[in-house]
Structure 1
Amino acid sequence: MYISTIVILMAVALSNFIAKFVSSISKTYISLFVGIIFAAIPLVNGYILKFDYEFFMAFIIAPLLFLEGQKTRSILVRRKLKSIIGTAVVLALISAVASLFLVSQLFSLTLPFALILIAISTPTDATAMDSVSEGRKMPRRSEIVLKMESLFNDASGIILLQAGVIWFKTGHLSYARNFGAFILTAVGGALVGFSIAFVIMICRQMIIRTRFNVTHSHLIVYFATPILIYFAAEELKLSGIIAVVSAGLIFNGEMSRSRFSIPRYLSFFNQIVDFIADTMNGFVFVILGLSLMRIVIEGKPELTSTLEWLWIGVAIYLISLVIRYLYAKFGTRYSQIEAITFSLGGVHGAVTLALVFSLVKQGISTHLFNLILLTETVVIILSMLTPTIVFKLILNPIQNQEDMRMNKKLVREKMVEVGIEYVSKLQISPAVKESVTFDLMDQNRNTTLRQFLSQWLGVNSKRYVFTGYQAVEERQILMNAFEEERKYLYDLVDGAALEKAKYIYDVYSELLISESLVLDSYEE
């Protein structure tokens, strides 16, 4: 398990590096390709364990959905409750019923088996959707609805899958019982998530206001929360997915109203959350790439003996696409472009693959399992490739990311010049001036390796380790230089357009962090 996790994390790190060099391709796709390459290398592939559904759902998907929930304001969920129910419940049921009969008739499949195939392709993936629309301006309304749908429709897919498996095994399907089970697990899951998260929030806020507060312990509790809530809900036979999303909504309000109570902790917390979320997103798509490649490597008999899996997968995707378009166009009165983006935005990803592997211990024969696996693989690939191509044709690009990066770089360079110019006019110790100038240049990474090594040797030989008056002088000059840089950014942002203001504020934020590091080193 440990070696397997380390190998996958190395794949995530590698994909992040590659993404910096190949900015024209979404990082999600790069993670997918790296996973494929790792699986194609026998030595590396041998160190990675087989897909574990329970581990994946509890330790990867649950925390990811929890973080997505925390990014979403609960008031937005209340406002969009009608569309959430419409997409996560009504649309899911309409798609399931229509696809069920069409697919079963087209390919002479039994209704229970067809329902299993349809149910697995019900959940949509917000992260995958972001990857296919990256760099393009999505219509705001369809973008919000797609994100809401992906947060809540996993539960619909799981309930439909359970109904399909029971129907497949027993030959009986109770509509009333299954619908009742869905309502119970969804509402019950939401209540469990809200309740546990609320209690944890109250306890944490009480501790924050006492002398017993330990910020690092809060972080441990925070990341353990979605895992514990998921297991608690699943143990009660409720929806663990909806439970963790609901818990995330509770924590969204907490963070926005307690951000200044422990500012250092919240700054550190935000960085850690971004790091964990980015790593887990990469983890998901590396695993997806690994799994897809292993399907090919293992040479499933169904892969070459018949192409039935291909045509079933294509049919499921196209039927779903048409139903989603009709629902958006005529059911919710979306504009043409909103309806198209909504229909194509139903992208499938790792959760769909996870549901396939959840069938391993459900008594499904090897032949049928392989057929399901290959079919859903087609659905996943089509749902990612189709919008990636179409969105580039029909959606306007967001401002060139490379232009934004260059503009930000120019702002930072000019800001650093202002700081260095201020220091150069001062009559101070040469060693202090050299040290401060290097620190200011380092804001823009405008220092060479030779300069760094010179500074490193100076620190180790105590040349740049200042004490007494020189230490106070160094700190004061740095703070004054930062103040000059801030004044420059103030003047620059005044009256600036929104897009320009964004990257100016970004540079300003980094400057404030630099100032806090100077203060921290002084306290030490």
Structure 2
Amino acid sequence: METISVVLVMMVAVVVSGAVVRASPIPLPIPLVQIALGAAIASVANFGVELQPDIFFLLFLPPLLFLDGWRIPKEGLLRDRRAILGLAMGLVVFTVVGVGFFINWLIPSMPLAVAFALAAIVSPTDPIAVSAIAARVPIPKRLMHILEGESLLNDASGLVCMRFAVAAALTGAFSLTEAFVTFLWVSIGGIVIGFVVTWCVTRATALISRKFGEETGAQILVSLLIPFAAYLLAEHLHCSGILAAVSAGITMSYAEFLGKVLAVTRVRRSAVWDTVQFATNGIIFVLLGEQLPTIAARAADVVRETGHHEPVWLLIYVIVISAALAALRFVWVWTALRFTMFRIRRRGQSMNTPSWRLVAATSLAGVRGAITLAGVLTLPLTMYDGSPFPARDLAIFLAAGVIIMSLVAASIGLPRVLRGLRLPPTPELDTKEVRARIAAAEAAIHAIEKSQHDMGKGRADADVYVDAGSRVMEIYRRRIDGFSKTGEEADLVRHVGTIERELRLAGLRAERDEISRLVRSGKISDEPARKLVREIDLLEARIMS
């Protein structure tokens, strides 16, 4: 009963956080509001929530990472693969070594292996936190795609580095060869398992749907179960469950185009996943806030062992470590950009020098979140001899502090750095989209022509079918004509399209208001009213997309 009460309170806090952000006159990142609400809950109610890392990972991370892999633009991943892999792999190792030695120098009482473990934990950025920041800060699309790709792939490298740092702390030994082999098995195995699980499940459900019909609820439930299946199987085989969930999501994005899922299934499935994402994102940060007072109290005891008797040193440690992380990230991104420019110019191509603000924005956008929190909680409680794991509580506090500091820095700094910043354009993507829209409209015209011919064949009122088909085809012809224009004609067509869109939205909203009035006055029952409102909602969603 108490567990249910805690879950309900957390969900209410998530709902309240959304209202606070919308009502705030200044842009507030919703994760910070949720952390503050969690801390407020802890101050008035002692729930005594104990975050068990295995359960925390299993409940929250698979669905969220699966959804990010599902929805992330794949063409962007391939186009910027060098930048993404450099950040996801090279930067993690660079951070572990640089920040690990720095933490050991800053806090001598923390053993070097534990310092490396902490550096590995805070090295991965978090797709959940990045998405939360992007909702309030206008990050350019291409930069956002790079950040999302990095955060999806750097979890494995960061957590594997942490695993070997912890092993070194427990045993006092480290094998580079063993670490490399394990990394290959963990990463490649996780990716393959995620692909196989998703492909098999989607093919099986598609086969069942073709033979016996499609059940919308079952399809949605299957999509919710896939990430957990991939994660659990990967963990059972000692591979990366995180990468398995990401791989499952990426595979899902391709698999859904191979089957013929009902439109209503796609609409409802999207709504369910939006709700899951909003709720789980929020609960993660509310839980972090709820844990902060306890984490801070334990860390204050540990910091006294370093020779400092004032708890303010905890804040100093957090600020300095966060600054070191940002500095190393800035150096890595700046060096990678210079190397890219060198290679392009060596091939005889020209490239404009990117603004320093691009490097600064990429550094500030390295937000930490749920992966860091969950990872640091997996630190063992004791050594093999039964003694307490050194500086565990301090490491947990520092990781939590880095999460909050990165959110604050990104929320304050990104809007200023990004103001007026433009990334190199990718016009080929817009061209491909236009071609796809024209091809789809042409296919629709051919299908309508065939259907009107088949439906009116041999009928006395065949001209009625021809007239109806002509009216429908006119919509698609106007669409093709609009996309085929260039220059001022294209601008005029777009302007007219914008006007038509606003007028159609005004009409749909008026329809919905009138149906509501009829229900309130008792002139129509609620069942047909719901049906009519849903039809209007779907049309409005189609126009707004």
Superposition TM-score, scaled by structure 1 size: 0.75
- Candidates 312, 319, 330, aligned match of 1:314: 319
Most deviating of 150-159 and 244-253: 150-159
Partner deviation per Cα, 1:367-417 (whole Å, 9 max, x = no partner): 61111122212211221111211123222289xxxxxxxx99986884258
The aligned amino acid for 1:61 is L
Matched, 1:7 2:27: no
1:97-155: per-residue Cα shift (whole Å, max 9, x none)? 12222332343343212111111111211232233344433244332211111111111
Residues 19 and 112 from structure 1, CA distance in 2 versus in 1: closer, same or farther, beyond 3 angstroms?
same
- Please list every run of 5 or more consecutive structure 2 residues that lacks an aligned counterpart in the other structure: 339-353, 422-498
The aligned length equals: 440
How do 1:268-279 and structure 2 match up within 5 A? Answer: 268-279=268-279
Equivalences for 1:294-305 in 2 at 5 Å?
294-296=294-296, 300-302=300-302, 305=309
Are residues 1:98 and 2:98 paired?
Answer: yes
Which amino acid is 1:166 matched to?
A: A
| CA distance 1:97–1:253, shift in 2 (3 Å) | same
Q: Counterpart amino acid of 2:514? A: M
Q: Distance in 2 between matches of 1:328 and 1:214?
A: 48
Cα distance in 2 between the residues matched to 1:306 and 1:417? 60
CA deviation after TM superposition for structure 1 residue 20, in Å: 3.4
SS in 2 for 1:237: coil
Corresponding residue number in structure 2 for 1:522 = none
Q: What residue is the counterpart of 1:509 in the other structure?
A: 541
* Deviation per residue, 1:161-195 (Å, 9 max, x gap): 11111111111111121122112101111011111
How far apart are 1:90 and its partner, in Å? 1.0
Q: How far apart are the structure 2 equivalents of 1:475 and 1:365?
A: 60
Give the partner amino acid of 2:252.
Answer: F
1:299–1:181 Cα change, 3 Å: closer
Matches within 5 A, 1:34-53: 34-42=37-45, 45-46=46-47, 49-53=49-53
Q: CA deviation at 1:300?
A: 4.3
| CA distance, structure 1, for counterparts of residue 158 and residue 279 of structure 2 | 26
Report the counterpart of residue 22 of structure 2 in structure 1.
20
User: Superposed, which structure 2 residues align to 1:123-202 within 5 Å?
Assistant: 123-202=124-203
1:325 partnered with 2:326: no
Alpha-carbon distance, 1:222 to partner: 1.3
Equivalent pair of 1:137/1:397 in contact (CA under 8 Å):
no
1:182 partner letter: F
Report what 2:240 is aligned to.
Answer: 239
Q: Deviations over 1:192-226 (max 9, x none)?
A: 11111111121122122122532322222211111
What is the distance in 1 between the residues matched to 2:35 and 2:74? 32
- Superposed, 1:50-449 pairs within 5 Å as 50-108=50-108, 109-258=110-259, 261-296=261-296, 300-302=300-302, 305-307=309-311, 308-333=313-338, 335-361=355-381, 363=383, 365=388, 368-396=391-419, 414-415=506-507, 439-441=512-514
The question of whether the paired residues in 2 share the 8 Å contact of 1:70 and 1:248 is answered with: yes
Q: CA RMSD in A?
A: 3.4
The C-alpha deviation readout for 1:444-470, integer Å capped at 9, x for no partner, is xxx6xxx86x43xx3xxxx64599xxx
DSSP-derived class of the 2:391 partner: helix
CA contact (8 A) 1:317 1:383 kept: yes
Structure 1: runs of 5 or more not aligned: 399-406, 420-438, 487-504, 514-524
**Distance change (3 Å), C-alpha of 1:207 and 1:136:** same
Equivalent residue letter for 2:17? S
Tell me the distance in 1 between the aligned counterparts of 2:170 and 2:530: 73
What do the CA deviations read for 1:227-256 (whole angstroms, capped 9, x no partner)? Answer: 121111011110000011000001112234
Q: Is contact 1:73-1:252 (8 Å) kept? A: no
The amino acid of 1:19's aligned partner reads V
Q: Deviations over 1:288-318 (max 9, x none)?
A: 2112233346684236735554444333322
In 2: Cα distance, 1:235 partner to 1:408 partner: 55
Q: Quote the Cα distance in structure 2 between the aligned partners of 1:374 and 1:327.
A: 26
Counterparts of 2:391 and 2:500 in 1: how far apart (Å)? 54
State the distance in 1 between where 2:539 and 2:217 align. Answer: 28
For 2:7, the aligned partner's letter is: T
Percent identical among aligned pairs is 24
The answer to whether the 8 Å contact 1:73/1:249 transfers is no
1:30 aligns with 2:62: no
Comparing 109-118 and 123-132, the one that deviates more = 123-132
Q: Say if 2:216 and 2:264, in contact at 8 Å, map to a contact too.
A: no
**CA–CA distance in 1 between the matches of 2:278 and 2:4?**
20
Cα 1:141–1:238 shift into 2, 3 Å: same
What is the rounded CA distance, in whole Å, between the counterparts of 2:123 and 2:509 in structure 1?
55
State the distance in 1 between where 2:369 and 2:530 align.
51
Are the counterparts in 2 of residues 74 and 250 from structure 1 also a CA contact under 8 Å? no
Query: Quick one: distance in 1 between partners of 2:245 and 2:102?
Result: 34
Q: For each residue in 1:397-442, what CA deviation from the matched residue of structure 2 results, as whole angstroms up to 9, or x when unmatched?
A: 89xxxxxxxx9998688425875xxxxxxxxxxxxxxxxxxx5435
Contact 2:381 2:388 in 1 (8 A): no
The worse-fitting range, judged by mean Cα deviation, of 356-365 and 55-64 is 356-365
Query: Is the contact between residue 92 and residue 154 of structure 2 (CA under 8 Å) also seen in structure 1?
Result: yes
Distance 2:544 2:366 in 1: 40
Amino acid at match of 2:266: L
